[in-house]
Amino acid sequence: MKNAFLSRNSKYMLLLAMFSFSSLVAQSFQKTALGIKTKIQALDVEVQFYSPTIVRVLKSPEGVAFKKESLSVTKKPESTKFTMQQNGDIVSLKSDKMKVDLDLKSGKMSFNTLAGASLLNEAASGASFTDFNDAGSKTYSINQNFELDKDEAIYGLGQQQRGQLSLRNAKINMVQGNVDDYVPFLVSTKGYGLFWDNYSPTVFEDKPEVTSFKSEVGDCIDYYFMIGGNIDGAIAGMRELTGQAPMFPLWTFGYWQSKERYKSQDELVGVVSKYRELGVPLDGIIQDWQYWGNNYLWNAMEFLNTEFPNPKKMVDDIHNMNAHVIISIWNSFGPQTKQFREMQPKGMLLNFGTWPQSGLETWPPNRDYPSGVQPYDPYNPEARNIYWKYLSKGLFSVGIDGWWIDSSEPDHMDFKPSDFDIPTYLGSFRKVRNAFPLMAVGGVSEHQRAESSDKRIFILTRSAFAGQQRYGANTWSGDVNSSWQSLRNQIPAGLNFSMSAIPYWNTDIGGFFAGAYKKGWGDGTKNPSFQELYVRWMQFGAFTPMMRSHGTDIPREIYNFGKKGETIYDAIAKTIDLRYSLLPYIYSASWDITKNQSTMMRALVMDFDDKKVVNMNNEYLFGKSILVAPVVHAQYTPETIVKSNEETGWNKNEDTDVAKIQAATFGQAKSTKVYLPEGTSWFDFWTNEAFKGGQEITKATTIDEIPLYIKSGSIIPFGPKVQYATEKKWDNLEIRIYPGADGEFTLYEDENDNYNYEKGAYSTIIFKWNNKTQTLTIGKRSGSFNGMLKNRTFNIVLVTKEKGTGIPTGKNYDKIVDYDGKQKNIRL
């Protein structure tokens, strides 16, 4: 009897213990307005819904208070309906778009579709915090591990010169550099995005068993998961979180000429004048450094160089030729500048080695005469105010159209670990190092917008960080080498950058360091090795968001390569003409970015479910219709290997082993391999020959043509032949239809410059092609703006081998349609 009582008592005690434990678990988390808070394995963990598709995860050592204000994230959490359910140790939170599971015992999180399909899991090893002394401040080094599916591919993390597209099995040390721009955001072929919100030096590593982010400094682990359904959707989530991309002026999509550097006002204006004389289109000219004088006056933001005696007249002369000018500005100042003298007493300069290293213009730098140049602290709002004050007074006031913000990472030479201890307005330089370009570019952008809305902000910059798309900036790939390998590297570099949610990117056409091609060839422009590389790079550049020729050692203006009727000159001119013919398509694609969070340079994996394109690093879509397959191997000359980097490349006196080769004959046809993704058919742009997707073909090439293929169902508008982007109205566009599938295209137009489009001052016309009935519907025009065409002509071409090939010639139309804004149906 006693044993029976003890047995019943033991069962009672066991049930009581189980109930108490269950109650303890049930009370071990707290529901909040955004999600839940809990403590797991000595960590405070918080899950926050920022929207139905975006979740933020915060982790920190238990009981340790911290304050985190994101430099990248602009979105405030929106009121999001979610449900919460507990099943044992697992708490599940559901919005109407996704499900998030948190294991209350291990702390492991997983992100899933509503249907229960796994998207991303934290690894069992999870998060770790290691004590770290950050310049006297007690903080942590942080690490978070994830598990990726064996077969998924990931992309993004900014721009790397790795020559690879997929980030699987990569280890990347993310510290901003001249030719590497790091953005800690990645996207997956499973349709999600992951943003690691940290600004310190960070190592990303993907191994078969675990994928991790490890940052040197962090008071907390702070990351965002976003579900998009596809890569476009994930990018849209990142832009929702960190800011949308505004419109650039139409003229920024024309052709830009630059070099290191135009040494006088007359030379700069003369280049524009020469292009107009030759009838070669040009929209922009760029003035590089030292218009301010010597290196002690570095970045004075004034024309102190006597070779620029009348900057207002210089700018007016350029404007009177219907061109625009942007100018080099830096994030550092020489000791004799007004900016340096105002900022230094206020502790707004960062005292570490930067470019230039000597006050004298000699190579190598004469360290007996240090330049004294120091970067400024863009994290400090007062410093940003001072920066704009001088920029506005010295350059904006004379009518400069945009800013070339060089060294925006910034240059960090003679690096010492103690440099990271240097204090900034937001803590140690180590803590905020990678966000430098975001703060520097943002300071200029926000101040200009506050001062004037008449002119859209246009910034060309050498580095970027998460969220920079909101500032009207186009990032270029830095001082890259003039070599075929470097050209090959630019394609995956630009595609990964674009998949980092920052849609505007470009590269120095021809590569920056080209001195190796001069030996035995004068200025190098007649060296066939450089001519071939330059033309192929030019053809690639025509299909990037900014077409800009720039470099040192060898001049890049078209007239240096010969004259009309000569092969290389004609190839360059033809490529520029092709770019201008596509301006209606390109400008409409830019609206698709602003309105629909699209991307202009598109890795093929974004649009095609084809395993062969998962790591394809030499082809891409430009917009959503044009497949670009640049020629990235020498066909007419030896593929000379040129070695240099952004520092050693400055040794312009270095002898090289580049042998002088015989003059090449560029007349004969060559060939290259092109892969056409499956799931559609394709038209050769130059011949309209049709191909079924899912196969590799051999394409005959000539020096003046780049392999281009148009997806079936595409509708592409072509603009008039012009000398600059706005020379002629788009009142007589050629509209090409590539049959074989249904298609749709939205033609966008506005006032071309200013921000009235944000108030609704723009128009769209939707073209739809019904392949079954062979009918084109031109929809009713939506919207209006000052100067809008009320009546116009559309010249319709249903492409065949005989019609609609190559650059438009104004012949062989199927229908000529007078359009007054009302819907039209055209049977072809």
Q: Of 409, 646, 734, 814, which one is the catalytic site residue?
A: 409
Alpha-carbon distances of 153 from 148, 209, 757, rounded to whole Å: 9, 15, 37
Per annotation, catalytic residue among 122, 406, 619, 684: 406
Ranges assigned E (strand) in 581-714: 601-602, 620-622, 626-628, 670-676, 681-684, 690-692, 695-701, 708-711
**657 CB contacts (<8 Å, ≥6 apart)?**
none
- Tracing tokens 């090449």 back to the chain, one arrives at 664
Sequence-distant (≥ 6) Cβ neighbours of residue 417 within 8 angstroms: none
Instruction: Report the DSSP beta bridge partners of residue 460.
Output: 404, 474
Q: How far apart are the C-alpha atoms of 62 and 48, rounded to whole Å? A: 18
Q: How far apart are CA 572 and CA 705, in angstroms?
A: 10
Q: How many CB atoms lie within 10 A of CB 64?
A: 14
DSSP 81-101: --EEEEETTEEEEE-SSEEEE
Q: Between vectors from CA 541 to CA 276 and to CA 486, what angle results, nearest 5°? A: 130
How far apart are the two ends of the chain, measured CA to CA in Å? 98
The answer to whether residue 409 is catalytic is yes
The dihedral sign for the CA sequence 716, 717, 722, 726: negative
- Strands 782-784 and 762-770 turn out to be antiparallel
DSSP bridge partners of 817: 794
Cα 156 to chain centroid, rounded:
10
406 catalytically annotated: yes
State the SS3 of 731-761.
CEEEEEECCCCCEEEEEEEECCCCCHHHHCE
Q: Is 260 a catalytic residue?
A: no
CB atoms under 10 Å from CB of 678, counted, come to: 16
Backbone angles phi, psi at 518, to 5 degrees: -85, -25
Catalytic residue among 401, 479, 592, 750: 479
Rg of the chain (C-alpha set): 29
DSSP per residue, 370-437: B---EEB-TTSHHHHHHHHHHHHHHTGGGT--EEEE-S-S----S--GGGGGSEETTEEHHHHGGGHH
How far is Cα 488 from Cα 194, in angstroms, rounded to an integer?
27
Strand partners, 401: none
Residue 239 and residue 236: Cα distance in Å, rounded? 5
Beta pairing class for 35-40 and 29-31: antiparallel
Active-site amino acid positions: 406, 409, 479
